Amino acid sequence: MVRRHHDIGTFENLLLKWLGMLFDMVVIGLATITMGYVVYMMFHLVTDTIHALHVEDVLHQIVLVIIFLEIFELLTMYVKEHHVSMRNVVELGVLAMVRKIIITPDYNQLGWQTLFGMAALIFVMGWIYVQERQRRTKHEEFLITHGIKKV
């Protein structure tokens, strides 16, 4: 029995199409769960703030909500474009590091190695962010100079 190469290609294309749709459905499900959790956190943030005001807890919750909103943005960007910008990922990483710095009551608990690692990580993420911005600017300049994009 001889199989045709064309039949295998069609089967592979169909399989990849279904797997792509399944992946999109998983990402949409994660985005829905993320937004539901954000609404849940916002409800508890408002109700807890009314009963007792603990500035550190409120600040921690606000930063956590912002992180989850960034995750939601990444997921929706992936569903729309099937691509995630490195700039957005770096922004999410910086937010997570800022959250860790904010909620740490005693920096002596972390140790100098952890603090040095966090500083190095923030430096690298900042460098990546600047490189991404410059790359985007150069690309926009190219498009404008070649008449592809208008000012």
Where helices occur in 52-111 by DSSP H, the ranges are: 55-81, 86-103, 107-110
Q: pLDDT tens digits for 32-78?
A: 999 999 999 999 888 876 777 777 778 888 888 999 999 999 999 98
Q: pLDDT tens digits for 84-124?
A: 888 888 888 888 888 877 777 777 777 888 888 888 988 89
pTM for the whole structure: 0.69
Sign of the CA dihedral 58, 64, 69, 72?
Answer: negative
Rg from Cα positions in the chain = 22
Reduce the DSSP state of residue 58 to 3 states and report it.
helix
Euclidean distance between CA atoms 79 and 81, whole angstroms: 6
